[in-house]
Amino acid sequence: MGKIDIKDVPTINGEGFQLTVLDKVIAAARANSVWPLPFATSCCGIEFMATMGTNYDVARFGMERMSFSPRQADLLIVAGTISKKLAPILKQVYEQMAEPKWVLSVGACASSGGIFDTYSVLQGIDRVIPVDVYVPGCPPRPEQIIDGIMNIHKLVKNESLRRRNSDEYKDMLKNNFNIESDGK
């Protein structure tokens, strides 16, 4: 190991500049203030409320502002069982959200129907809306939900700015879920 020389760096006063990529700045801004829409139906909703509480805080991620209006939300957190009666409403809420939007499916019921393999339960919300991250568990511990949220942050940070307007995205929505999207 060589010697470490500490030298004085000349201070620069006045305006500076930073060289970066626009994608990275926007990604950092988006990832640190994701506003969730808690679509909490059942037991996973209570675990989500515990995640919101002071022990497993989500305010450190900038997410404490729960938006119940889809127009102002970034992340749709579906926590709980979705029945077939509720599926059209879930789809409508998803369509009302503005791009870019992400979906976090919390719990076994939202991911795949869970233990309720019955005539009235939708076997997974990915039958009606595209899902970005699945959090398994029945109900998942708040630590797991936070892990899901951090995975969402990874997706948010690495997304290209053009993705939502691209043809592939629009085709994916149209072919799989019959959702017309114009990138807004």
Partner 1 sequence: MENNFAHETIVQRLTAEFGPSVLSFEEPYGLLTITVNPVAVHAIVAWLKNDATLQVSFLTNLGAVHYPDRKGEELALVYHLHSLVNNLRVRLKAYVPIDRPEIETITDMYAGANWMERETYDFFGVIFKGHPNLVRILNEDTMNYFPMRKEYHLEDATREDKDDRFFGR
Partner 2 sequence: MQDNDMQEGQIPEFSKETIDGNIATLNLGPTHPATHGIFQNILQVDGERILSSEQTVGYIHRAFEKLAERRPYNQIAPITDRLNYCSSPINNMGWHMTVEKLIGCEVPKRVDYMRVIIMELARIADHLICNSVIGMDTGALTGFTYVFQEREKIYELYEEVCGARLTTNVGRIGGFERDFSPAFHEKLKNFLKTFPKAFNEFNSLLARNRIFMDRTIGAGPISAERALNYSFTGPNLRAAGVDYDVRVMNPYSSYQDFDFMVPVGSQGDTYDRFMVRQEEIRQSLKIIQQAYDNLPEGNYFADIPEFYLPPKEAVYNNMEALIYHFKIVMGETPVPAGEVYHSVEGGNGELGYYLISDGGRTPYRLQFRRPCFIYYQAYPEMITGQTISDAVLTLSSLNVIAGELDA
Binding site for partner 2 (CB under 8 A): 39, 41-43, 46-47, 49-50, 52-55, 66, 68, 80-81, 83, 85-86, 89, 93, 115-116, 118-121, 138-139, 141
DSSP per-residue string spanning 40-78: E-SHHHHHHHHHHSSTT-SGGGT--S---SGGG-SEEEE
Question: Residue 107: which residues within 8 A CB-CB, separation 6 or more?
Answer: 43, 44, 79, 80, 81, 114, 135, 136, 137, 138, 139, 140
Q: Is 159 helix (H, G, I), strand (E, B) or coil?
A: coil
Q: Closest CB to partner 2 among 33 and 68? A: 68
Please identify which residue in 12, 17, 54, 119 interacts with partner 1, judged by CB under 8 A: 119
Query: If contact means CB under 5 to 8 A according to the sort of partner, which of partner 2, partner 1, none does residue 123 touch?
Result: partner 1
Footprint of partner 1 on 85-114 (CB under 8 A): 85
Contact status: 84 vs partner 1 (CB under 8 A)? yes
- Within a 13 Å sphere around the CA of 70, how many CA atoms are in the beta-carbon half? 18
User: For 21-26, which contacts have Cβ atoms below 8 Å and span 24 or more sequence positions?
Assistant: 22/161, 23/160, 23/161, 26/161
Q: Pick the closer one to partner 2 by CB: 112 or 169.
A: 112
The answer to whether 123 contacts partner 1 (rule: CB under 8 A) is yes
Question: Whole-number minimum distance, CB 164 to partner 1, in Å?
Answer: 29
28 or 138: whose CB is closer to partner 2?
138
Kindly tell me which of 38 and 133 has the beta carbon lying closer to partner 2: 38
118 near partner 1 (CB under 8 A): yes
134 within 8 A of 105, measured Cβ to Cβ: yes
Q: Rule CB under 8 A: is residue 15 a binding residue for partner 1?
A: no
CB of 84 to partner 1, least distance (A): 6
For residues 169 and 146, the answer to whether their CB atoms sit within 8 Å is no
**Interface with partner 1 (CB under 8 A):** 84-85, 117-120, 123
